[in-house]
């Protein structure tokens, strides 16, 4: 499935997700895009203007960077 189709799916489903759960759902969506091999920059271009996904993107890669730093501290 193309990334644009995934974003279209997100746009169609978001109205069915309770507001309190949207950020978590957004993080799952961002993880899927990352797992598909999209770069953070490409993801940012794709989600341009979607505040929920922008917040999820920031959290997802912030968490990922923290995990990377934890690994470095371990060595």
User: 10-46: per-residue pLDDT in tens?
Assistant: 999 999 999 999 999 999 999 999 999 999 999 999 9
Measured distance CA(14)–CA(58) in Å, rounded: 19
The per-residue pLDDT of the chain, averaged, comes to 87
pTM value is 0.79
Measured distance CA(75)–CA(45) in Å, rounded: 35
Structure confidence at residue 63 (pLDDT): 75
Structure confidence at residue 73 (pLDDT): 55
- Check whether 70 has a pLDDT greater than 70: no
Q: Pull the structure tokens for residue 11.
A: 């746009």
Measured distance CA(60)–CA(53) in Å, rounded: 10
| Cα-based distances in Å from 51 to 22, 57, 68, 73, 75 | 11, 10, 26, 33, 37
In total, how many domains does the chain have?
Answer: 1
Q: Which domain holds residue 44?
A: 3-74
């Amino acid at each position: 499935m193309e990334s644009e189709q995934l974003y279209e799916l997100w746009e169609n489903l978001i109205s069915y997700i309770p507001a309190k759960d949207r950020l978590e759902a957004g993080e799952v969506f961002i993880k899927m895009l990352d797992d598909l091999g999209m770069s953070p920059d490409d993801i940012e271009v794709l989600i341009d203007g979607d505040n929920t996904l922008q917040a999820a993107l920031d959290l997802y890669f912030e968490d990922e960077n923290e995990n990377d730093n934890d690994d470095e501290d371990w060595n």
